[in-house]
Copies of this chain bind each other. A is one copy, B any other.
Amino acid sequence: MTDTPEAFDAVEVIATKRDGGRLSDPQIDWVVDAYTRGVVADEQMSALAMAILLNGMERPEIARWTAAMIASGERMDFSSLSRPTADKHSTGGVGDKITLPLAPLVAACGVAVPQLSGRGLGHTGGTLDKLEAIPGWRAELSNAEILAQLEDVGAVICAAGKGLAPADKKLYALRDVTGTVEAIPLIASSIMSKKIAEGTGTLVLDVKVGSGAFMKDLEQATELAETMVALGTDAGVRTVALLTDMSVPLGLTAGNAVEVAESVEVLAGGGPRDVVELTIALAREMVAAAGRDDVDPADALADGRAMDFWRRMISAQGGDPDAPLPTPRETQVVTAPTTGVLTGLDALGVGVAAWRLGAGRSRPGEQVQAAAGVVLHATVGDRVVEGQPLLTLQTDTPERFARAEQALEGAITVGPDGQEPSARQVVLQRIDR
């Protein structure tokens, strides 16, 4: 069929992992490359992915798999910049707008932030989708534009180029439709291949734990975090992970424009406590890992420097930081069912509601609504009175309200007075090597 014979047979590679064996380095190099070239077919890779999910991979296998995915494409190089670089990756959560205030805050501390992001799929939303709610802002930059903006402004949030880890892009889309997303070796190598290829000097991982996150329990999240920290460190990237709570939404908004507005509040010195706390915690890790432990991000947030960097970052990509954000055509209020203490506000329920209102997409390429989302008027621990507004649903297409409300069934719990839950801890654990 081809001029040069293939080094391996796909079925033999699949059978090795199926039978509980360890893939050799040449097997991994070949199968990732051959999949990228289309010689290993989708149906073969999905069978291999399922075997990896069920039989696992050892650390050296994961490291080699990651390296093979990096080798499938180009690598960026920020070593010519006058500043150190630091990047953050979140495994995805509901209301997770942290990147928006974080990137300008870290830039304000003298550390360049090349934040190459993806689009949202499913209930967790995407950073680019959120920023596109800002009139004029564009996500697509060339590599030269990224470098220039990092030098001039110090922060870029933009779409990851198609040239980085193309094997991962192909595999990620495949896993999404074949029930093979939930494999820690594949999650870790997917994230880390992109981040290492992107060329950042340091990386802080925000690994979410809880109902609204991908990892529902601390044990799994710890394994994922440890795997990624090891992968990054071994590849020469200073890598630290924070395990953070995702049992309730972050802040009081989940959606696109609503999350931009909340981020701007934080940059203006206000905003919900948990968003502020997590933004500063991650910023401190990034700044310290980049060697700037002389600067405290809390100061740069308090004195308005972070807001200055935000405005420059948005303007540099065509956005108008002063333009009014889109507002929804329709809103609907959900009220408290009884009087008492708000004891639960399930992150997954809120995330799915925002998604169904139009904030997220079900298929790659689908349009999202800038104004769609959920705004919370109370948070866990607050005293509420029967009939008071608890949250507002926003959408341009009111036929979506019914299914959004369904997603919220059982998500809101109100307990009797005196049953206040203990104060929420945002950062649960820190993992480095």
Query: For chain A residues 144-181, which have a beta carbon within 8 Å of chain B?
Result: 174, 177-180
Minimum CB–CB distance for A28 against chain B, Å: 16
How far does the alpha carbon of A150 sit from the alpha carbon of B208 in the complex, in Å? 67
Chain B residues within 8 Å of A50, by CB: 14, 18, 46-47, 50-51, 54
- Check if A49 is an interface residue, CB within 8 A of chain B: yes
| Contact pattern, A 8-44, Cβ under 8 Å of B = 1, otherwise 0 | 0011101100100000000000000000000001111
Please tell me if A53 contacts chain B, counting CB pairs below 8 Å: yes
Least Cβ distance of A363 to chain B in Å?
A: 10
Cβ–Cβ < 8 Å partners of A180 in chain B? 14, 18, 47
Residue among A12, A177, A179, A182 facing the most chain B CB atoms (10 A cut-off): A179
Instruction: Judge whether B54 and A18 touch: CB under 8 Å.
Output: yes
Contacts of A42 in B (CB 8 A): 41-43
Task: Say yes or no: A18 contacts B179, CB within 8 Å.
Answer: yes
A49-B51 contact given A15-B179, A177-B11, A177-B41, CB 8 Å threshold: no
A178's nearest neighbour on chain B, judged by CB, is B47
Q: Which of B45, B48, B55, B178 contacts A11 (CB 8 A)?
A: B178
Docked complex Cα distance between A178 and B41 (Å): 9
- Count residues of chain A with CB under 8 A from any CB of chain B: 26
Q: Chain B residues near A47: list those with CB within 8 A.
A: 46-47, 49-50, 178-180
Complex contact A179–B43 (CB within 8 A): no
Residues of B within 8 A of A14 (CB): 50, 178-180
Which residues of B lie under 8 Å from residue A41 when comparing CB positions?
42-43, 177
Contact of A43 among B10, B53, B178, B182 (CB under 8 A): B178
CB distance from A100 to the nearest CB of B (A): 30
Q: Is the CB of A43 within 8 A of B11?
A: no
The residue of chain B having its C-beta at the shortest distance from the C-beta of A183 within the complex is: B18
Is there contact, CB below 8 Å, between A18 and B53?
yes
CB neighbours (8 Å) of A179 from chain B are 10-12, 14-15, 18, 44, 47-48, 51
Give chain B nearest CB distance to A275 CB in angstroms.
32
Q: Shortest CB–CB separation between residue A46 and chain B, in angstroms?
A: 4
Beta-carbon nearest neighbor of A17 in chain B: B179
A-B contact pairs, 26 of them (CB 8 A): A10-B179, A11-B179, A12-B179, A14-B180, A18-B50, A18-B53, A18-B179, A41-B42, A41-B43, A42-B43, A43-B43, A43-B45, A44-B46, A44-B177, A44-B178, A44-B179, A46-B46, A46-B50, A46-B178, A47-B49, A47-B50, A47-B178, A48-B179, A50-B51, A54-B54, A54-B55
Other A-B contacts than A41-B177, A43-B178, A46-B50, 20 sampled, CB-CB below 8 A, are: A11-B179, A12-B179, A14-B50, A14-B178, A14-B179, A18-B179, A41-B42, A42-B43, A43-B43, A43-B46, A43-B177, A44-B46, A44-B178, A47-B49, A47-B50, A47-B179, A50-B50, A50-B51, A51-B54, A54-B55
State the A residues within 8 Å of B (CB): 10-12, 14-15, 18, 41-51, 53-55, 174, 177-180, 182
Pick the 9 closest A-B CB pairs, nearest first.
A14-B179, A50-B50, A47-B178, A42-B43, A43-B46, A46-B47, A47-B50, A43-B43, A15-B179
